[in-house]
Structure 1
Amino acid sequence: MNQPINTHSTEAFRGKYIKSETDLDLMLKTDFGKFFIVKVEDLIRMIKLPVPPSRATTHTFIYLTEGEANMTIGSQSFTIYKDECLIVPAGQVYSFSKHDINKGYLCNFHNDFIIGKFAKNDLLKEFDFLNIWANPCIKLNPQCSIFIRQLLERILIDYVENGLSNIEIIQSYFIALLCEINIVQKPLTGVGQNASINLTNKFKELLFKHIREKHLVSDYASLLNVSPNHLNKVVKSVTDKSPTKWIDESIVLEAKVLLYQTSFSISEVASQIGIDDQSYFSRLFKKYEGISPFQFRKMIEVS
């Protein structure tokens, strides 16, 4: 389990799976099959930065052995250090703007990969950290960190040499890794706060599902069977941010993804996120980003 990853193996990965920057761009924006793993230091040398707000249908897991990593997930920025993990749930919006000095592992995986031949759908419910509302940063204790690193080393060795031809073995090791994380992961709960946190998490989950058609606090309060005032009070107490601001930021995030990942016009982007008034959309976007949607798209094209 402690066998080091040699230079030949990492070069083999680069030669076998990443032949151009276009391949890498597709890897980051879309599914690369159901699973891939790579060393962070190998991947980061080939990434063209910045990576504007993007969304994938797979989960991303990062574990650092040295240095630090900075990423914006949703509307918040996060930094992890040695022996810490960062998890971007499938469907969440992420971006990053600079090369950090670090080493570690990055895995990208689909829910179908976790289930595979032997697991049941219920297994996914065991891993709260894969939910859109979860805390993406996970600190590992020293013993757990050793286990996680050993599992990642073993998975990478097999993946580099054989791809997914031994998928059941890789799946078994990876599920063990997720179970190790589950032991130390601290969910966003507290004594006397469970009801408030559960309501806030449900609000975030609904926001993720309905942001393109529901833009009012009353819309979500109705779905949750609570009053708008109660929802406002609870969400503000748990997150220090009002539901209205959560909604506005989510609208802008959706717009940023569309401006980057599609060729829609500005008016079409506004329409896609449920806003008929383009001038209102532009004002809202500029309020949170400091620039207009047109300037944001131009900035991406230049970079």
Structure 2
Amino acid sequence: MSEIKLYDTRAFTGQFMPSEELGGFFRGDMGKFFIMRVEDMYQFVTRAVPASRSTITSCLYITDGEASMKIGSEPYTIHADEMLFVPAGQVFSFREDDVNKGYICGFHADFLIGKFFKNNLLNEFDFLRVWGNPLIQPGPQSAAFIRPLFARLMIDYSQNGLQNLDLLQSYLLTLLCEVNRVYRPASGPGPVAGVTITNRFRELLFSQIRTKQRVTDYASLLNITPNHLNKTVKAITGKSPTQWIDEAILLEAKVLLSQTNLSVSEIAVEVGLDDPSYFTRLFKKYENQTPSAFRRMIEKS
């Protein structure tokens, strides 16, 4: 397996990079904030990144070329002046052969807490929630404001680290507000009550999946009937709650397969399935390969 392993908050990938490889490139507290050019990142990330997660929120902004990434269970491809957000804790993966330029920025939830800003500020932006649309496609006018903000963050951070904290916080908040102006929900128009229920379901799924794997569990948490939850989620997302649950289990399993040495049986228990045989059948149903074959594929990449 590659020497570059993934853990914690050392880069947007959540990957731990040995200090000797980092050299003096990164500055400041990587657990709070960082920004770097995408083309510079590739000297550290030299292979496809399998299912991973980070404790920081990240944003990938492309200025030239294209980039592909899977966020949760959905694939995305972006081009010049487009961006993707990966909320903290969300599962993601990407390939290593994209040709592009741009910026990658990462920040912890409490980075924007300071003398100017309040707690939980990130909750004000739907694109930073696990149920939000991570794909942002600004028009030419908005892109003309957004691109210089990335450049300004890059200049100040590369020269001063986190010394000018108030300035970095202000530029980042301005960037998020500009993005919020052009944000479009993934689900499109729908009944407000239905969208609210679906978003709450997905947020609960994100935090409860290792202990709750039945539609009835989530219906109970939402104080609605399983039938109502089924109809609502299917109408808003096109996928049933059962499919959402299965995909969430698979995402958890992929992270454990790529980031730990736990056995397949141990991983089955970790994701809330006591029967390893059922876990293997579920994995193969969606991935067309067994968990063990998936792990071998990662190790060979």
Q: Is the 8 A contact 2:4 2:45 kept in 1?
A: no
How many residue pairs align between the two structures?
284
Unaligned runs of 5+ in 2: 17-29
Q: Which has the higher helix share?
A: 1
Residue matched to 2:206: 208
CA distance in 1, matches of 2:116, 2:75: 36
Answer with 61-70 or 202-211: which moved more.
61-70
CA distance in 1, matches of 2:83, 2:188: 22
CA distance in 2, matches of 1:302, 1:23: 14
Residue matched to 2:20: none
Letter in 2 for 1:260: S
Q: Deviations over 1:156-188 (max 9, x none)?
A: 111111111212211111111111111111235
**How big is the shift at 1:217?**
0.7
Q: Does 1:168 align with 2:166?
A: yes
Answer with 188-197 or 200-209: which moved more.
188-197
Q: 2:70 aligns with which of 62, 69, 72?
A: 72
Q: 1:29 aligns with which of 4, 9, 14?
A: 14
Paired residues for 1:42-81 under 5 Å: 42-81=40-79
**How big is the shift at 1:192?**
4.9
Which secondary structure state, in structure 2, belongs to the residue aligned with residue 121 of structure 1? Answer: coil
Q: How much is the aligned-residue C-alpha RMSD, in angstroms?
A: 1.9
**How big is the shift at 1:117?**
3.8
Residue matched to 2:176: 178
Paired residues for 1:1-303 under 5 Å: 22=4, 26-27=10-11, 28-29=13-14, 32-188=30-186, 192-303=190-301
Q: TM-score, normalised by structure 2?
A: 0.89
Note closer, same or farther for the CA distance 1:141–1:121 as it changes in structure 2 (3 Å cut): same
Q: Is the 8 A contact 2:5 2:15 kept in 1?
A: no
Letter in 2 for 1:124: L
CA distance in 1, matches of 2:6, 2:186: 34
CA distance in 2, matches of 1:76, 1:190: 16
Which secondary structure state, in structure 2, belongs to the residue aligned with residue 159 of structure 1? Answer: helix
**How big is the shift at 1:122?**
4.5
Q: Deviations over 1:77-136 (max 9, x none)?
A: 011111111101111000012321211111011111122343101522321111000001
Which secondary structure state, in structure 2, belongs to the residue aligned with residue 213 of structure 1? Answer: coil
Which secondary structure state, in structure 2, belongs to the residue aligned with residue 283 of structure 1? Answer: helix
CA distance in 2, matches of 1:189, 1:301: 36
Which secondary structure state, in structure 1, belongs to the residue aligned with residue 64 of structure 2? Answer: strand
Letter in 2 for 1:301: E
CA distance in 2, matches of 1:260, 1:286: 16
Note closer, same or farther for the CA distance 1:229–1:97 as it changes in structure 2 (3 Å cut): same
CA distance in 2, matches of 1:241, 1:89: 21
Residue matched to 1:6: none
**How big is the shift at 1:190?**
5.2
Note closer, same or farther for the CA distance 1:207–1:192 as it changes in structure 2 (3 Å cut): closer
Residue matched to 1:15: none
Q: TM-score, normalised by structure 1?
A: 0.88
**How big is the shift at 1:191?**
5.1
Residue matched to 2:26: none
Letter in 2 for 1:284: L
CA distance in 2, matches of 1:269, 1:192: 37
Q: Is the 8 A contact 2:31 2:56 kept in 1?
A: no
Moved over 6 A (4+): none
Answer with 157-166 or 247-256: which moved more.
157-166
Q: Is the 8 A contact 1:40 1:103 kept in 2?
A: yes
Which secondary structure state, in structure 1, belongs to the residue aligned with residue 66 of structure 2? Answer: strand
Q: Is the 8 A contact 1:30 1:57 kept in 2?
A: no
**How big is the shift at 1:232?**
0.8
Unaligned runs of 5+ in 1: 1-20
CA distance in 1, matches of 2:234, 2:110: 35
Letter in 2 for 1:151: L
CA distance in 2, matches of 1:265, 1:24: 18
Letter in 2 for 1:243: P
Q: Is the 8 A contact 1:24 1:47 kept in 2?
A: no
